[in-house]
Structures are given as structure tokens and as C-alpha cells.
Amino acid sequence: MGVDIQTKLRLALGSMKDHASIGKALVYNHDGKPFSDIEIAVLRATGHDNGPIEDKYMHEILFLVSNSPGSVPFLAERISRRLCKTRDCLVALKTLSLIHRLLRGGNRCFERELRNSHVSGHLQMSATNCFRNSSFSFLRSYAAYLEERVGWAITQAGKLEPVMFNGLEFGCYEEKSVDMVFRKLPKCQAFMDRVLDCSPIDVVPPADNLAQAAMGNTLKESFQVYIMYCEVIEILINMFFDLTTPARTLACDILKRASRQSKELADLYETCKRVMENKNLEYPRVQIITMDHVLALEQCSSFMSTSSSTGKQSEKEGDEDDTSSSSNQFSFTLETKISKVWVVFDEDDGELQVPVGIV
């Protein structure tokens, strides 16, 4: 009963705060403040109620932004401000869910502008007082996940792909090249680490519905990334013995991390199958990468490096021996000797006696 009363009081006070904030934004709207309609839509979408974000508010935000050029940085600032000022964990979670849905539901141009806003500092996802509440660790994990997620984009084919940053310009990775493998795999592994940090077990009861929805979207995206992750791992293994020694060492480090992640991911998916209310999620089959296989590759790499070094050393010594024998074949010793034999010239020549110098 006590918990029920506290929940009702929290909702009542939250509703009053929402009305006050919206009323203040309406006043600014009448004063001709630009983009104030966007601020009102953000406040309505992230209210203090327990329900998920209503689709009508999402559509309203996207409509207002699409018809207001240059409004995305303003939207990002208002979302960050909402997240920073609130002390209510539900509002913070709903605000993070709004960011996630905007990343998933907008067009490619809007996603790029929102990503630019994050790079420029307009969109901040980790500045909130609610993170100090140790009883709601899912909130911190979810924010960290979104910090990583903003570095990924949905392609025209509907796939989630990492983007490479070049100032404020973004592009796709090349396909099936060594550079692509060693750039994309660390991105996949960083993404999966953030997913592994999110656990539905860490959700507190008042935020259960919101967290279930957030975790559901996180899992769906992890399924896409995991499939691509496995494909790039396969490419790495196929090209392993063609790599240079430093590249093979880096590949072994990546595979060791992949081995750890595969076991943890399998455990997470099994937990989510039991805990998550959404039973329609299509979980991929996790392929366990054993550490024995990775260590076997590492030993092969070490053997290849040792054999290569021994072969080069033998070849070098052989060249030195050839050079030495060739030099001995055509060499001879010059000696200088002093003779004690004197040659005597006739008197007409001046009786000059000269020793014979060199024999």
C-alpha cells in the first residue's frame, strides 16, 4: 500500500511539473521564440507517466523538424537539457528512449544531422543526476549503449553499419579488405560490450515497461550486428595466414576478445528469453569461439614467425659464406722485402751504390 501511495504521489507531482514546463514553453511560443513547438513536443513525449512514448509525439517531432531547417541542433539541446535537469529516473529513461527511437525512426539525413549534433556536443546522453542512483544501473548501461549506437547508421538496405568519422563527414567501410576487417571488428566488439552491459535483471519495477521496450530495441539491433560480426570474423580467419606477423598478433587479440564475448552473449540471450515479455524476438544462434582454437592459431602464427626468421637468417649466412669464398678465390698477398745485395756502378757513372729495394 505504501509503495502504491508513493507511486501516485510521484505521478501527481510529475504531472504538475510537466504542466508547468509546457506552460512556460507555450508562453515563449506566443512571444515568437523559434522552434518552441519542438520543445513542447519533447516535453510531452517525455512526461512523468509510466507509459511508453506515444507514436503521435514521435510523428510530431519528426514533422516539426523536417519543416524547420536548422532545427536539429535545437532539438538535441532540448533533449540534453531535459535529461540533465530531471531527477526522475522514469523521465530520464523515457528521454533516452526518445533518442533511440529518433535514431531508428528518422530518415538518413535526419540521422546524420543528429549524429553531427552529438559530435559537436549539442546532444549529450550521460549528463543526468539519475545516474547517481545505484539502484537503477540499467539507466547508466543504456546511456552508454546509446553513446556507442550513435556511431552506427541504418543503410538503405535496412542494415546497421558502423560509420567512420572524418570531421563531420560520414562514410561506409570498404568491403572484404584487410583495412575493413581491422576497422569494423573493433567497432562490432565495442558495440557488443555495451549490449552485454545491459541486463533486464537490473530493471527496477516502476520502470519495467519502459526498460522492457528499450531492451527489446537494443536486442533487435544486437541481432543485426552479431550476424555481421560473425561474417567479418569468418573473413579474418580465412585471411589469417596471409597476414603479416603484426597483423596476425592483432588478429589473435581480436579473436580472444571474441571468444569471451561469444560465451557472455549466449548467456545474455538465454536470460532475455526467460525474462523479456516480448516472446516474438528472433534470437540468432550464438557460435561459441573456444579459446583452444584461438590459442592454436596463435601457436601457428608463432611457428610461422620463427620459421620465417630462421629462413632469413640462414639465407643471410649463406650469402656471407658465398661472398667470403669468392673473395678468397681471387685474393693474393703482397710482401715487401729489404735486400742486402748492393749494385756497384762504374766509375764513369759516379761510383753510386744503391740497394735493391723490392723483390
CATH of the domain at 13: 1.25.40
- Asked whether residue 300 falls in the same domain as residue 189, the answer is yes
Could you tell me if residue 255 is inside a domain?
A: yes
Does the pLDDT of residue 340 top 80, yes or no? no
- Asked whether residue 246 falls in the same domain as residue 268, the answer is yes
Q: pLDDT tens across 182-224, in order? A: 989 999 999 999 999 998 776 655 567 888 889 999 999 999 9
Domain limit, last residue, from 117, 134, 151: 134
31-35, 193-197, 339-343, range with the lowest pLDDT? 339-343
Could you tell me if residue 329 is inside a domain?
A: no
CA distance 45 to 39: 10
Burial of 46 (0-12, 13-18, 19+ CB in 10 A): buried
Does the pLDDT of residue 298 top 60, yes or no? yes
What percentage of the chain has pLDDT greater than the value 90? 41
Predicted confidence at residue 72, as pLDDT, reads 93
Domain span at 267: 136-304
Mean pLDDT, residues 40-50 taken together = 87
- Asked whether residue 15 falls in the same domain as residue 73, the answer is yes
Q: pLDDT tens across 216-275, in order? A: 999 999 999 999 999 999 999 999 999 998 999 999 999 999 999 999 999 999 999 998
Highest mean pLDDT (candidates 3-12, 202-211, 298-307)? 298-307
- Asked whether residue 113 falls in the same domain as residue 187, the answer is no
Yes or no: say if 271 and 202 are a contact pair by the CB < 8 Å rule: no
**What CATH number corresponds to the domain at position 292?**
1.20.58.150
Predicted confidence at residue 8, as pLDDT, reads 62
Could you tell me if residue 27 is inside a domain?
A: yes
State how far Cα 49 lies from the chain centre. Answer: 34
Give the number of domains in the chain.
2
- Asked whether residue 70 falls in the same domain as residue 163, the answer is no
CA distance 255 to 222: 19
Mean pLDDT, residues 297-324 taken together = 67
Mean pLDDT, residues 131-154 taken together = 84
First to last CA, the chain: 125
Highest mean pLDDT (candidates 20-24, 96-100, 174-178, 337-341)? 96-100
Instruction: List the one residue out of 328, 352, 330, 331 whose CA is nearest residue 342.
Output: 352
Could you tell me if residue 38 is inside a domain?
A: yes
Q: Pick the residue with more confidence: 72 or 310?
A: 72
Predicted confidence at residue 330, as pLDDT, reads 44
- Asked whether residue 147 falls in the same domain as residue 281, the answer is yes
Mean pLDDT, residues 311-331 taken together = 53
Note the pTM of the prediction, 2 decimals: 0.78
Predicted confidence at residue 358, as pLDDT, reads 44
27-31, 54-58, 252-256, range with the lowest pLDDT? 27-31
Predicted confidence at residue 172, as pLDDT, reads 52
* Cell numbers representing residue 331 in the block: 685474393
